[in-house]
Every structure is written in structure tokens, then in C-alpha cells.
Amino acid sequence: METFPLALTTLLGSTGAFVIYAIIGFAFGYALESSGFGNSTKLAAQFYFKDLTVFKVMFTAIIVAMVGIFAASGLGILDYSLLWVNPTYLWPGIVGGLIMGVGFIIGGFCPGTSLVALATGKIDGIFFVGGVLFGIFIFGETVSYIEPFFNSSYMGRFTLPEWLGLPTGTVVLLIVIGALALFLGAEYLEQVVGNKPMAELPKWRFGSAGALIAAAVLVVLIGQPNHDDRWNNIAETMGQKLADRQVQITPDELLHTIWDESLQTVLIDMRSETDFNQFHLVDAVNVASEQLGQIAKELQSIAPNTVVVLMSNDELAATAAWKFLVAERVVNVYLLEGGVNAWLGRFGEDLMLQSQTDGDDSMGWLLPMALGDRWAASLPHPEAYALLFDPKIKLELKRGPVAGGCG
């Protein structure tokens, strides 16, 4: 059962959560200062190949955290999909990065390191922090002029394994090996340019490098949980909800929800295109089961007051889709009880319906025409019916961070 990351605000309240973040921040600042990041000359020496501490510290930190994260995810104790992965805005990121590079070599710090410089009384650090605050102020005042660029080349949550088409473990191993090779190159540069003989460096670093590679190989071997593993992790609780019929909402509740202006409703119709063209609800989208992965990605970042309702002719295809979306951590997903057949039975009185022989998740009614969503029953008026239902929809907050990073 994946229990991490924790839902901090739910567990501790917002004050408790902020205390945890302050403690993590404390360790962060302590690590930066003790690595020498409060000293601008040490940071700038990086760019003259004399002292490559910045590079070594940063990439050691990245590969250690990365191996830990994907090992924990592979073992099923950490849910990677709940971690904040900075969304990719490619060009604003690159241009912003270049501007920061300029600031780094002129000013001698980056924002995090300038904080510890300020905290230890470095006067150049204090001026730098002042500059950062002023730069942020200018950005906030001028962002409206560059809004189109600021929001351009958006690729969402886009990861290196997806880009390269390689398994996550392989990418982790390649990055570890690449970083270790670059460390060796960095030490060589320090010997040539900075007069620091490699022979005087501690021997334990080879053993540590070996241990890191071994850990990365383990990450490759255990792999990452696939979709079935993710469902199995939650099968007990979620399967119980299905069996107790806590997530099947009646046509009456669905109609009420569609007209509830405090909620957004996403209607997903899992039937064949033929059935969909004959009849569907207003604003329903026709989705084939192969498209669910893409749909899940879109739904993960949707507004928190959104209710997703799945439907098929009866419940079979809708239930399968429900399991898929829930395993992908989409929240507030429900399915239409009795499916479109039940909906037509309740609201389709104008259609001159003829009952067909019931098959497996097939259309239970014979419609005289294929009118898509132009039937009255596609969006009945709730006041025309006395809607009666036990409400089952309970809005649930997302567990993962909705806006993290440097939000």
C-alpha cells in the first residue's frame, strides 16, 4: 500500500504542515551552508574550472534523491504520481535559465544560496537578495506584456522516460553513470586548472560510487509499478466501494449534479461511436478505452470541484473505466447506475422507445432516429421530474500537491 507522500494538511492542519516545511527548509539551509554555498567566490570558481563544488554537490544531490525516489516508488511505498513534477514550459524555462546563468556569474549566487549567505552575514549576499527581490518585483509588474511567451511551449507533466521512450529504471541508471563520469572529469579539471591533485582525494568516493550504481541497478531490476500494480494497491478499499455501490449514482442524482452550478461535471461516454451517435447526453464526450490513459492525465490537473461521471449502456464498460481512472489517482469519479439504458428508461419517455432484448452492455432501447444529443432526454429539465435520490457524491480533495515547486 502506497502511503507516501503524506496528506500533510489533512493530517496536521495547515499550521502543522508549515512546521514540517520549515524543518525541511532548516535542513536545506544547513546543507547548503555546510557545503560552502554561502561563499560567492567559491560558487563563481565553478565557472573558471578551478573548484567544481557547485556541480558536484548539485548532481550528487540529484542522483541520491532520484535513486531514493524511484526505489521507494518501485517498492510500492511512494506514489510517484502524487509528487510534484515541474510542468514543462520549454522555452520560458530555457530563456529564464539563460538569464539566471547571467545573474549567477555577475552576482555570484542563486536564490537559495544567497539566503544562507545573508543568514551568515555575507554583505554581498545581502545585496544579492535585495536584487532578487527587485527582479521578482519587476517580473510581477511586467509579466502581462510577455504573457503569451510566458505560457508558451507547455507540455504538462513530461518526463525524461516518456521523452526517450525508455523504462524509468534505465533512465535513472544512465543518469547515475553519466553524473559519476562527469565527476571524474570535474576532478581532472580541478587538477589541471585548480592545482588540486586527484591522488589526494579520499578513496572512499570510489566505494560510494559503486554503491550508487548498485542501487540504480536495483531500481532497474525492481521496475516501476504498472497500471495493474497500481490498481492492486487500492483494490481492497476501492473494490469495496464498488461492491457497496457507493460510487454508482442514479440518473436522478446525475441530472441534479449536471444542473448544480457549484460543480463542474465531466461526462464520459464509454460506448461505441454508433450508440453514441444514436443518443448521448449533452456535453458527453465519447472515449474509447485505449484513450483512457490520456484522459486520466488531463483529469489529474482539472479544477477540484469537478465530478467525473462515466457511463456505458449498462455498467460493464463504465466500471472498467472507473477502475482505470481511480488507479491513476483521478479523484471524484462516479459511474451512472444502470447506464444509459437506465437514463433512457427514466427520462426518455418522449422517444417512442421500444425495448430491445438485453445483451451484454448493449443498447437496451430501439431508437427511431440517430439524433446524438438533440433528444429532449439528452438534457431533461430537472423541474419536470420529481428527483429523488440518496446523495452519494462527496467531493474529495486531491492528495497530491496541486501547485508546488516554486509556486
**Binders of other proteins among 90-149, rule CB under 8 A?**
90, 92-125, 127-141, 143-144, 146
Walk across the sheet containing 333-336 and list its strands. 248-249, 333-336, 306-311, 264-269, 285-286
Contact flags string 183-202 toward other proteins, x per CB under 8 A: x------------------x
Query: Which of the residues 359 through 388 are near other proteins (CB under 8 A)?
Result: none
Interface with other proteins includes 4 (CB under 8 A)?
Answer: yes
Q: Which stretch binds other proteins (CB under 8 A): 330-338, 364-372, 375-383, 393-401?
A: 393-401
Buried b or exposed e, range 49-61, using 16+ CB within 10 angstroms: ebbbbbbbeebbe
Interface with other proteins includes 177 (CB under 8 A)?
Answer: no
Interface with other proteins includes 222 (CB under 8 A)?
Answer: no
Interface with other proteins includes 26 (CB under 8 A)?
Answer: yes
List Cβ neighbours of 10 (8 Å cut-off, separation of 6 or more).
397, 399
Q: Which stretch binds other proteins (CB under 8 A): 65-73, 237-245, 363-371, 378-386?
A: 65-73
CA distance 336 to 312: 8
Residue 249 phi, psi (nearest 5): -100, 145
Q: Which residues pair with 307 in a beta bridge?
A: 265
| Residue 102 Rama label (left phi>0; alpha psi -120 to 50; beta) | alpha
CB of residue 125 to other proteins, shortest distance in Å: 7
Sign of CA dihedral 407, 102, 158, 176: negative
CB of residue 228 to other proteins, shortest distance in Å: 22
What is residue 78's DSSP assignment?
B
CA distance 340 to 371: 15
Query: Dihedral through CA 381, CA 384, CA 385, CA 387, nearest 10?
Result: 60
Q: Which of 2, 66, 224, 247 binds other proteins (CB under 8 A)?
A: 66
Interface with other proteins includes 223 (CB under 8 A)?
Answer: no
Q: Which stretch binds other proteins (CB under 8 A): 85-93, 309-317, 336-344, 349-357?
A: 85-93
User: Per DSSP, which regions of 21-108 are E strands?
Assistant: 88-89
**Is the Cβ of residue 142 or residue 354 nearer to other proteins in the bound state?**
142
Interface with other proteins includes 8 (CB under 8 A)?
Answer: yes
C-alpha cell at 213: 550504481
**Longest C-alpha distance within the chain, in Å?**
91
Q: How many binding residues for other proteins (CB under 8 A)? A: 137
CB of residue 15 to other proteins, shortest distance in Å: 10
Interface with other proteins includes 219 (CB under 8 A)?
Answer: no
**Is the Cβ of residue 168 or residue 341 nearer to other proteins in the bound state?**
168
Q: Which of 148, 165, 197, 407 binds other proteins (CB under 8 A)?
A: 407
**Is the Cβ of residue 52 or residue 344 nearer to other proteins in the bound state?**
52
Q: Which of 36, 167, 372, 382 binds other proteins (CB under 8 A)?
A: 36
Cα–Cα distances (Å) from 244 to 81, 235, 238, in that order, read: 27, 13, 10
**Is the Cβ of residue 106 or residue 288 nearer to other proteins in the bound state?**
106
Query: Dihedral through CA 18, CA 24, CA 26, CA 31, nearest 10?
Result: -160
Q: Which of 1, 16, 62, 366 binds other proteins (CB under 8 A)?
A: 62
CA distance 199 to 202: 8
**Is the Cβ of residue 62 or residue 366 nearer to other proteins in the bound state?**
62
Instruction: Let me know: does 241 contact 393? Beta carbons within 8 Å.
Output: no
User: Per DSSP, which regions of 170-272 are E strands?
Assistant: 248-249, 264-269
Interface with other proteins includes 205 (CB under 8 A)?
Answer: yes
Interface with other proteins includes 356 (CB under 8 A)?
Answer: no
Chain position carrying cell 589541471: 192
CB of residue 150 to other proteins, shortest distance in Å: 7
Q: Which stretch binds other proteins (CB under 8 A): 3-11, 241-249, 338-346, 360-368?
A: 3-11
Interface with other proteins includes 16 (CB under 8 A)?
Answer: no
Amino acid at 265: T
Interface with other proteins includes 158 (CB under 8 A)?
Answer: yes
**Is the Cβ of residue 26 or residue 239 nearer to other proteins in the bound state?**
26
Query: Which of the residues 40 through 59 are near other proteins (CB under 8 A)?
Result: 40-42, 44-48, 52-53, 56-59
CA distance 265 to 258: 6
